[in-house]
Amino acid sequence: MHICVLGAGIIGVTSAYRLLEAGHQVTLIDAAAQPGSQASYGNGAQLSYSYVAPLADPSVWRHWPEYLFGAASPLTLRPKMDSAQWHWLIKFLAACNAKRVRKTTVDLLQLAFFGRAQLHQLMHTMPLAFQHRTAGKLVLYSEPNSLHAARAQIAFQAQYGCRQEVVDTARCLEIEPALAAARPHWAGGVYTPDEEVGDCALFCQQLVDAMARQSGFRFAHSHRIGKLEMRGGALVAVHAGSEQIDADAFVLALGADSAGFARQAGFRLPLYPLKGYSITLPLSGSAGQAAPTVSITDLARKIVYARLGDRLRVAGRVELVGMDRSIPERAIDELKRGVDALFPDCDCLSDSETLSPWTGFRPATPSGVPIIGASPVTNLYLNVGHGSLGWTLAHGSATLLAQLIAGESTSIDAGPFVFGA
């Protein structure tokens, strides 16, 4: 079967790989010249298999005024005259209850751990160099009450295979000595030793290069998708660039642009873009010694740090502001202040241009659960809505999708990820 995958971010690239592996002819289409050029390019780089709790959480109700009006809030909501934003927000608030959050967490943990096994299997069969390593992850808590509450979450997640421990400040410094120079004080942290890191964009590029050496694969880069050809309720072709590309089936993996494509095809996807930012610090000389090797999450600031060889990826913020592609100076300054607070001896923050400021749009469902499998349109399959967990969930999602398309028994329960579930 000829399958056309729409979108060459991490979700589309991994989907293409698993479908090619299953024996299909695959065409991968993207508007950019390189795979992994949008949300996959400057993401937080952490493969956080044990940290999948959704943004929708009961605590949102307490912090709602801060999100609306707080200038320093790491989550920003800018209400717009946009029905899609309001539909999403209503469903998001409905998902902010403890029962739904627990179910979502269990579903995402199963998909994440399945994905980890799939990534490791891929790396065993196909050597790829994308700065991958098991770095461990340390989440820093500034408030003792929050750290105490984390114990209950750790106990809950332990039932599903998570290996985590609550550690005091002294143990935090043993785990990551680079924190010794930090100015803030924290109550302690949660340490997960088997979390991983990797350069998502580099992975996309290398996997596409590897697929390009196989028969039956084509990467149609620099092809912006336009008109759709529908016949009898089925999608039969897409116009991309100057081409009409016909296929037996299509996979929608266009990230934040998936909602617009779905509207063209005649249905609505419950997606909204969560805007985020990152900088990437070059670590030369003393900066390399002052930067962490363990992945760090500063929970108070909602900033993550991931070491990628001689670079440090620093990412943060969640903004519901539509598709505003600007990078305001305040957002980059906020990330720089975070670095200066935790790792003040990283003396490489003066030249903003060398920090490669980036923004991207993470396509999220209100509950945080991605949509994988059949759509309301015949021959169109979905792999969308992974929010900030695209890198973590991609490999499990792609294999699950390939199994669903083949009509096979799935390795994990696909029910939570069905459209409309």
Give tens-digit pLDDT for 83-125.
Answer: 888 899 899 889 999 999 999 999 999 999 999 999 999 999 9
State the pTM of this model: 0.95
Q: Comparing 226-230, 264-268, 285-289, which segment has the lowest mean pLDDT? A: 285-289
Q: Evaluate whether residue 259 is within a structural domain.
A: yes
Nearest to 306, CA basis, from 355, 298, 314:
314
The vertex-96 CA angle with 61 and 397, nearest 5°, equals 140
Task: Write out the residue range of the structural domain in which residue 219 sits.
Answer: 2-40+202-271+367-417
The share of the chain scoring above pLDDT 90, in percent, equals 79
Residue 11 lies in a domain: yes
Q: Please tell me the total count of domains within the chain.
A: 1
Give the residue with greater pLDDT, 186 vs 395. 395
Q: In this structure, what token pair is assigned to residue 309? A: 């060889």
pLDDT digits (tens, 9 = 90+) for 284-323: 877 788 999 999 999 888 999 999 999 999 999 888 888 9
Concatenating the DSSP letter of every residue in 363-376 gives EE-SSS--EEEE-S
Is residue 289, in this structure, part of any structural domain at all? no
pLDDT tens, position by position, 47-76 = 999 999 888 888 777 766 666 555 556 677
Question: What's the pLDDT band for 363 if we cut at 50, 70, 90?
Answer: very high
Whole-number mean pLDDT of the chain? 93
Domain membership of residue 336 (yes or no) is no
Is 174 inside any structural domain?
no
CATH code: domain of residue 411: 3.50.50.60
Q: Is residue 276 part of a domain?
A: no
**Contact between residue 261 and residue 318 where contact means Cβ atoms under 8 Å apart:** no
Contact 223, 241 (CB under 8 A): yes
Lowest mean pLDDT, pick from 80-89, 169-178, 377-386 = 80-89
Residue 401 covered by a domain: yes
Residue 331 in any domain: the answer is: no
Beta strands in 283-347 (DSSP E): 295-298, 303-308, 311-320
